[in-house]
């Protein structure tokens, strides 16, 4: 994991209470030797990338920083329409505390901070004993996939123990040395797992702002290829992500193939459209939207994207 590296960065320079909270983030690749029977597509792999970050803060800042990370996860889940999820407070196993580091006192502080943050945000959270990390309790966001299996995506962890073990210090307002508290956070969690759950959740039909190809242009024949590429250039100038399918195939075949690719909009262009300077618009899984000028269509796409983004 990346936690020790971020501790080393914190320790590399003298720190004051004025420097806190100090937030360090990276997309880091980490490794876990899963056994062969445990590997599962993209959702459980041996090498994965996570949006790993650590917040070093004073004790009086813990709850507010924790709540801010909860709000980041809330924005992400709302943007991707993840509604079928559960919040889980993962605590120590009260019957087997040998696998955890740190005193009862710091564990109680950390656990109470998470419980209070959930209460303040009115977030219903189920308590699971024995699911904590070895260094501290955490709040996990469990998302269900297409067949109802629960996967951990976002996670936030409160840690009093690693700062102690790495002897991290800052100079407080009283001019004395104090231990910071460390918050581990990964709103997406494993990027591979997140993408796998997202693909299942959307059945490949990503929202318009997220989909890699927003538009595909389908020339009816080779005679319309020149106009198709002209339309592509005009749309790209308006920040629309667009491709041209200029294969020597019948129009019906092109439409079927691109429907399977889940591209949101198809623009059919022929000699008549070229003469009028318009495109015939087909929406994925919906009725034809009729003829539009290239500018009208570009405005429509950008307005749709803005509307989606502003909803978050």
Q: Which residue is catalytic, options 7, 51, 52, 193? A: 52
Q: Which residue is catalytic, options 3, 7, 57, 118? A: 3
Q: Which stretches does DSSP call E strand in 19-149? A: 22-31, 47-57, 85-91, 125-129, 138-144
Q: Which residue is catalytic, options 54, 178, 185, 201? A: 54
Are 183 and 156 a contacting pair, CB within 8 Å? yes
Q: How far apart are CA 213 and CA 58, in angstroms?
A: 45
Phi, psi dihedral angles at 160 (to 5 degrees): -95, -10
3-state secondary structure at position 26: strand
Note if 54 is an active site residue: yes
Note if 5 is an active site residue: no
Question: Is the sign of the CA dihedral 40, 41, 43, 48 positive or negative?
Answer: positive
Q: Which residue is catalytic, options 32, 78, 83, 253? A: 32
Note if 57 is an active site residue: no
Smallest CA-to-CA distance from 114 within 79, 70, 78 is with 70
Q: Which residue is catalytic, options 7, 50, 159, 178? A: 50
Q: Which residue is catalytic, options 15, 138, 193, 282? A: 138
Note if 223 is an active site residue: no
Residue 5's CB is within 10 A of a number of other CB atoms, namely 14
Note if 178 is an active site residue: no
Q: Which residue is catalytic, options 109, 178, 184, 201? A: 184
Annotated catalytic residues are 3, 32, 50, 52, 54, 138, 184
């Amino acid at each position: 994991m990346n936690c020790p590296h971020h501790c080393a960065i914190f320790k590399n320079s003298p720190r004051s209470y004025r420097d806190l909270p100090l937030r360090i983030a990276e997309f880091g690749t980490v490794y876990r030797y899963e056994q062969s029977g445990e590997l599962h597509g993209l959702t459980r792999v041996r090498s994965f990338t996570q949006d790993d970050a650590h917040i070093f803060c004073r004790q009086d800042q813990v709850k507010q920083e924790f709540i801010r990370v909860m709000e980041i996860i809330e924005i992400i889940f709302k943007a991707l329409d993840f509604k079928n999820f559960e919040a889980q407070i993962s605590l120590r196993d009260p019957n087997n505390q040998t696998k955890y580091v740190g005193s009862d006192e710091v564990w109680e502080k950390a656990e109470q901070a998470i419980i209070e943050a959930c209460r303040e945000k009115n977030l219903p959270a189920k308590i699971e004993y024995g699911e904590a990390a070895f260094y501290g309790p955490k709040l996990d966001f469990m998302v269900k996939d297409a067949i109802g299996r629960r996967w951990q995506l976002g996670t936030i962890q409160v840690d009093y123990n690693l700062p102690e073990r790495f002897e991290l210090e800052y100079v407080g307002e009283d001019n004395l040395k104090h231990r910071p508290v460390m918050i581990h956070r990964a709103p997406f969690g494993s990027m591979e797992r997140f993408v796998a759950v997202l693909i299942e959740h959307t059945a490949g039909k990503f929202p318009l702002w997220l989909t890699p190809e927003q538009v595909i242009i389908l020339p009816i024949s080779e005679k319309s290829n020149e106009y198709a590429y002209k339309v592509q250039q005009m749309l790209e100038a308006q920040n629309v992500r667009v491709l041209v399918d200029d294969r020597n195939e019948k129009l019906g075949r092109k439409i079927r193939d691109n429907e399977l690719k889940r591209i949101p909009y198809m623009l059919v262009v022929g000699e008549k459209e070229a003469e009028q300077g318009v495109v015939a618009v087909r929406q994925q899984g919906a009725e034809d939207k009729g003829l539009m000028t290239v500018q009208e269509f570009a405005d429509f796409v950008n307005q749709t994207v803005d509307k989606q983004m502003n909803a978050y």
